[in-house]
Structure 1
Amino acid sequence: METATAIQTVPSYIRDAWWTPADGAAATEVRDASTGEVIARVSAEGLDLAAAVDHGRSVGQTELGRLTTHGRALLLRDLAQYLNGRSEELYAVSAQTGATRIDSMVDIDGGIGVLFTLSSKGRRELPNANVIVEGPVEVLSKDGSFIGEHIHTRIPGVAVQVNAFNFPVWGMLEKFAPAFIAGVPTIVKPATPTGFLAEAAVRAMVESGILPDGSLQLVSGPARDLLDRLDYRDMVSFTGSASTATLLRNHPNVAHGGVRFMAETDSLNAAILGPDAVPGTPEFDAFIKSAATEMTVKAGQKCTAIRRVIVPNPVRHAVIDAIGARLRERVVIGDPRADGVTMGALASLEQLADVRAAVRAMLAAGGELAYGTLDAPAVTRADGEVSGVEQGAFMSPVLLNWPDSGSPAVHTLEAFGPVAGVLGYDMHDGDASEAVRLAALGAGSLVATVCTNDPEVARQLVTGIAAHHGRILLLNREDARSSTGHGAPVPHLVHGGPGRAGGGEELGGIRSVWHHMQRTALQGSPNMLTALTGEWHTGADRVIAGDPEFGGVPGAVHPFRKSLAELRIGDAFASGLRQVELADISAFAEGTGDLFYAHTDADAAARNPFFPGIVAHGYLLVSWAAGLFVEPAPGPVLANYGLESLRFLTPVAAGDSIRVTLTAKRITPRVTDDYGEVCWDAVLNNQDGATVATYDVLTLVEKVDTLYA
């Protein structure tokens, strides 16, 4: 075995260059989790953290600010595609952390998947801009000259991301992706035992040439004074132990200096079996599979793993026997580089010692060993040989039975490894409140599974535990095969939980992007808010083509004749009036089959408190409006792909007339296409000027009119 002095020091990536400490710097040795071989040294001695923060705030902010949200989201897609091509390299490094190929898939492919998902959602759900409008406008004056709304803009500092040892790639990328889309530079601080894998991933990201300067930096090794360099402009996202999260929360720059702080910590997650899910049912089988899987994937080193298996007392021993049988049948412990191994080592010998100590404390507090052992297990070596004596951090899965389900130890102690405990509960006249009480004793968790095919049981359990959990998986025969599983958060949804789980959110679709942005209430005139947000507001100036009687300017070009290169926010069209006849209403009713009495029965319509008698169908009016505003000749408008926020406000009776005003409200060029999206503000008015309907029309428009020019 090589000596420690011959081992490479894991570098940091600071100010767009790789950095290693001087020879002789104090360093921590990192070992292969399976063999115990020293594979790296980790040190940040002499690293200028203040310079790293300054580089992010200056160069990183500037370079990311040159791009819009869509531009940054597109780079994420390119980065994900590039990393897919480097995944096998990362798999080889991941094996040194004790992770099996399936474990590595969860970490590496899961992280790459986050990049793809956030890239897609960013381009679909955010404007192609750096100012994001949130919610509707509030009119603050009678004449509409003073209005207010909320906007999101990126925070002006850096996002410091402190990650746990168990997911060195996924944990990094799920924080990096939303920060990058928001336009905030990232400083990654991985955990020392597996930081060499995070470094390998960062190296691949840098070598891709895709990332703007200053957008990503890596600190390999201790960074104890990093928070000293931060202020209210910056954000810290932490994943790890609850005790460390508490220390960071109490740092003066967090407690008093305004540093934004987000934490996701270990929690005592529960899986609850409903009383209907008895042995022989699909729910019982799915529950057993889920419990055994959560004990063994990543050797149980997951903040989302099931720690408390809460089951009806009549089936407690059947559950224990079934989980034990599945573990006995499925689990092969050993070096993940060996064929047939299904559970690898814990991340380090120190982690192994901590987990064994936690289990001993649970046994002393009343837990009973129902499956497994604390002795060193027989393991399969990389060469395929089986040995009972190894240098690696191997541990048998351990299942505990808790005769006293209310024992404080089971609800407060966590063994962060392949360990779970079984607790029993009783139903009382169909009341599942005891199971709810036991789940809540975890003092806040990331996720719970509720396994039942009884909707009433599900309702009781979910409404009872929802406020204590960040996520709940409803598991039954219908989704057992398609579910992503108890321990697999998805980037479309919020991840995080209350109380002990950290009280924060991450990995939450566009919500996770907003965590890196400041919400600001903006008040002013429609013209000023239009100029600042790039979105037209009612009352702002506009250039109107169409009927002069309703504001049309002679010679003004119909906005549907303009490509994106020519179209401007506020370009508008005003139609003339079209009268609605009773025959039109009757013909629409007959032609569509919409014979609702308000359109067909004069006596019944007259008794309706909302209508003056027979009224026109709302969809008739919307259809007529399209006929009033559409420019029929071929041109840069390629397609109408929908309506949003349609509201009918004033009924239209036979003899009334309608007209429409259409205004270019928001223009979103697509980065990768020759066209973009235009959102048009549409307002229907009657002959008296009353508003009949409001909605947004969505169209696809060429960037340059080439097809029909």
Structure 2
Amino acid sequence: MYDFRKFYIDGAWVSPANPRDLEVVSPATERPVGAISLGSAVDVDRAVKAARAAFASFSQISRKERIALLQRIIEVMQKHLPRLGEVISDEMGAPLGLAVQVQAGAGIGHFMAALTALQTFEFEEQLNGTLVRREPIGVCGLITPWNWPINQIACKVAPALAAGCTVVLKPSEIAPLCAHVFAEILEEAGVPKGVFNLVDGDGPTVGEALARHPDVDMISFTGSTRAGVQVAKMAADTVKRVSQELGGKSANIILDDADLTAAIKGGVMPMLINSGQSCNAPSRMLVPAKLYDEAVRIAKSIAERCVVGDPKASGTTMGPVASKAQFDKIQGLIQRGVDEGARLVTGGLGRPDELTRGYFVRPTIFADVTNSMTIAREEIFGPVLVMIPYQDEQEAVRIANDTVYGLAGYVHSGSLERARNVAKQLRAGMIHINGAALDMNAPFGGYKQSGNGREWGREGLREFLETKAVLGHFAEQ
């Protein structure tokens, strides 16, 4: 059992003002694996004061010193990577290999991307007689989710520190344990006291206290669109900057000249990795009507090769979803798909037959889906793929853009020029051509109700900076 019932504030592990314990439950066993304490507005205020006090000096340290700090963090993270991955697997159910190599590994990747951005970023430029400076925005409240916990913590903390900001982190109470290991890593790496602070809690208490706090200059939030709207409303009274990475219902357009088997595999596998719990997952597969039956057959074959089970077992390729609430939501949406007339190709309700405990979901594919169905409109956030036929390229683009979301898009084609042309027409923040992998130096973020602002790399660093114009700075004496 992990005992993480203290908060990290002002460089020390401290007890909550009013302890309120919460068990962290393994989604694989439905049994407790650890405990945290839920904080209050009093704890948030204490952390914000520490961050504000630290900002005065940390914001003034040199680029060279910040580079050295990020390098030390990377070194310590690499040393603790196996432990970090094991904790992630225990608390949110990712298969151990995925948890260590990809989930925890992404944390190091974001620090390396922030380091690269910091080494080359121009914080000052001359514009006629004016000096344009980009300075750290201040104290940043970071609210992160449970699905890729260290990935999303690191992609906020790394650029914030690179910019010279101080932070207060509220990780998800569903998967908070790895955040405590992360805090221990930063402590070992010598992050100055007050620069990084951690307060556990739920959204209505700690999240709201952070969003409303008058001494927090910026909120960076990752989560559902519904919760993001609430955070923005709470932050509005103090006119703080709000950066949001929210939901998605990304379309995967397979054009008629694509390598069909490779394209289908490249669309199904991301829906199974991390149990489909990725905001940028290609959850709507759009296939030419003339190739549709063959595409459905291939997708079914790929999904049925997935091995669902114990995250610690060597042969497991998909673990459980992260919580009972998530399991119940997915089950309800699968039933909704059946009720609305979609054809269940594989998967469906309940756990896989051999599993009697844990929040395991059957890899599920629906065919004969129209874009007006609930399962094509709502973010399911599980291993559920919907397949939609289209008649021509123009209809595919129209269907792809017919959504309130705009996080990612995918295009598969045998012609790079044709794929590029379709990519230009998609209203989304990130387009993957022919299975191109994510690039941690490239901006991550979306259009419409998928959020605002960008994370990762140079654009992620820019989010944590204010712009100052010093007029007359270059005037002749």
Partner of 2:8: 13
User: Which of 239, 261, 266 is residue 222 of structure 2 equivalent to?
Assistant: 239
Instruction: Work out the CA distance in 1 between the residues paired with 2:371 and 2:277.
Output: 25
* Contact 2:265/2:302 (<8 A) preserved: yes
Q: How does 1:322-361 map to 2 (within 5 A)?
A: 322-329=298-305, 331-361=306-336
Match of 1:409 in 2: 374
Find the aligned partners of 1:52 and 1:22 in 2 and give their Cα distance. 12
Question: CA offsets per residue over residues 171-202 of structure 1, 9 Å max, x none?
Answer: 00010111001100111111111111222222
Count of aligned positions: 471
| Corresponding residue number in structure 1 for 2:389 | 424
The answer to whether the 8 A contact 2:76-2:189 is kept is no
Match of 2:124 in 1: 133
Once superposed, which parts of structure 1, at least 4 consecutive aligned residues long, lie more than 4 Å away?
none
Alignment of 1:261 with 2:261, yes or no, is no
Residues of 2 paired with 1:408 and 1:19: CA distance?
49
Match of 1:217 in 2: 197
CA 21–65 in structure 1, closer or farther in 2 if over 3 Å, else same: closer
TM-score (norm 1): 0.64
Q: Secondary structure in 1 aligned to 2:175?
A: helix
Instruction: From the two aligned structures, give the one with the greater helix fraction.
Output: 2
**1:226 counterpart = 2:226:** no
The answer to whether residue 416 in structure 2 is matched with residue 452 in structure 1 is no
Match of 1:35 in 2: 29
Distance 1:228 1:302 in 2: 24
Structure 1 residues 121-200: aligned runs within 5 Å: 121-123=117-119, 125-126=120-121, 132-134=123-125, 136-138=126-128, 147-155=129-137, 157-200=138-181
> Displacement, 1:70?
3.0
Out of 436, 444, 452, the position equivalent to 2:397 is 436
Distance verdict in 2 for CA 1:374–1:340, change over 3 Å: same
Counterparts of 2:238 and 2:17, CA distance in 1: 33
> Is 2:47 the partner of 1:52?
yes
Counterpart CA distance in 2 for 1:490 and 1:408 is 32
Q: 1:393 aligns with which of 334, 353, 359?
A: 359
- Is structure 2 residue 283 aligned with structure 1 residue 307? yes
Cα distance change, pair 176–154 in 1 and its aligned pair in 2 (3 A): same
The AA in structure 2 aligned to 1:180 is: L
1:178 and 1:209 mapped to 2: Cα distance?
Answer: 16
Distance 1:389 1:456 in 2: 49
Which amino acid is the alignment partner of residue 217 of structure 1? N
Other-structure match for 1:510: 458
2:269 maps to 1:293: yes
Letter in 1 for 2:335: R
Superimposed CA distance per residue, residues 311-330 of structure 1 (whole angstroms, 9 cap, x where no aligned partner): 1111112111111111222x
Partner of 2:64: 70
Matched, 1:276 2:257: yes
* 8 Å contact kept, 1:11–1:199: no
Cα pair 2:216 2:240 within 8 Å, conserved: yes
- SS for the counterpart of 1:261 is strand
Question: 1:456: how far off?
Answer: 5.0
CA distance in 1, matches of 2:16, 2:469: 46
Distance verdict in 2 for CA 1:39–1:436, change over 3 Å:
same
- Does the CA contact (< 8 Å) of 1:13 and 1:219 recur in 2? yes
Q: Per-residue deviation at 1:22?
A: 7.1
Is 1:522 matched up with 2:473? no
In structure 2, C-alpha distance between the alignment counterparts of 1:341 and 1:520, rounded to whole Å: 52
Pick the aligned partner of 1:492 from 441, 445, 450: 441
The residue type paired with residue 389 of structure 1 is T
Instruction: Quickly say closer, same or farther: Cα 1:114–1:255, change in 2 above 3 A.
Output: same
Write the distance in 1 (CA, Å) between the matches of 2:352 and 2:368.
24
Q: Distance in 2 between matches of 1:444 and 1:232?
A: 32
How far does residue 232 in structure 1 lie from its aligned partner after superposition?
7.4
Call closer, same or farther: CA 1:112–1:368 in 2, change over 3 Å.
Answer: same
Structure 2 residue aligned with 1:471, among 430, 443, 446?
430
**Mapping 1:520-669, distance limit 5 Å:** 520-526=468-474, 539=476
Give the CA deviation at 1:41: 2.9
Q: Secondary structure in 1 aligned to 2:398?
A: helix
- Structure 1 residues 417, 525: CA separation in 2 closer, same or farther (over 3 Å shift)? closer
Indicate the larger mover: 237-246 or 77-86. Answer: 77-86
Normalised TM-score (structure 2): 0.93
Q: Are the equivalent residues in 2 in contact too, given 1:57–1:158 (CA < 8 A)? A: yes
Query: How big is the shift at 1:9?
Result: 4.8
Change (3 A) 1:433 1:183: same
What RMSD over aligned residues (CA atoms) do the two structures have, in Å? 2.1
CA distance in 1, matches of 2:247, 2:3: 31
Instruction: Decide whether the 8 Å contact of 1:10 with 1:40 is kept in 2.
Output: no
Residue in 1 that maps onto 2:232: 249
AA aligned to 1:523 is L
Quote how far apart the aligned CAs of 1:273 are: 0.2
CA distance in 1, matches of 2:130, 2:57: 31
Give the C-alpha shift of residue 48 in structure 1: 2.2
How much has 1:7 moved relative to structure 2?
A: 7.4
Q: Is the 8 A contact 2:11 2:192 kept in 1?
A: no
1:191 and 1:419 map into 2 onto residues whose CA distance is 23
SS of 1:48's partner is helix
How big is the shift at 1:388? 3.1
List gaps (5 residues or longer) in structure 2.
Answer: none
- Separation in 2, partners of 1:459, 1:112: 31
Query: Any conservation in 1 of the 2:60–2:164 contact (CA below 8 Å)?
Result: no
Query: What is the rounded CA distance, in whole Å, between the counterparts of 2:408 and 2:275 in structure 1?
Result: 18
Contact conserved, 1:70 with 1:122, CA < 8 A, in 2? Answer: no
CA distance in 1, matches of 2:132, 2:112: 28
Counterpart CA distance in 2 for 1:354 and 1:491 is: 31
Distance 1:94 1:499, change over 3 A: same
Match of 1:120 in 2: 116
Match of 1:77, SS state, is helix
Query: Can you give the 5+ residue segments of structure 1 that lack an aligned partner in the other structure?
Result: 1-5, 139-146, 278-282, 379-386, 528-538, 541-709
CA offset digits 1:15-49 (Å, max 9, x no partner): 221123478x4433221111111122333345521
Cα offset for 1:120?
Answer: 2.4
| TM-superposition CA deviations, 1:613-647 (whole Å, max 9, x none) | xxxxxxxxxxxxxxxxxxxxxxxxxxxxxxxxxxx
| Alpha carbons of structure 1 residues 10 and 344: separation in structure 2 relative to 1, 3 Å | farther
Show the 5 A alignment for 1:364-403.
364-378=339-353, 387-390=354-357, 392-403=358-369
Q: Please say if residues 271 and 384 of structure 2, whose CA atoms lie closer than 8 Å, have aligned partners that are also in contact.
A: yes
1:205 and 2:186 correspond: yes
Percent identical among aligned pairs is 25
- 8 A Cα contact 1:7 1:38, kept in partner: no
Q: Distance in 1 between matches of 2:322 and 2:2?
A: 19
Q: Is the 8 A contact 1:435 1:461 kept in 2?
A: no
Mapped to 2, the partners of 1:410 and 1:513 lie a distance apart of: 36
Counterpart residue identity of residue 306, structure 1: P
Inter-partner Cα distance in structure 1 for 2:299 and 2:211: 48
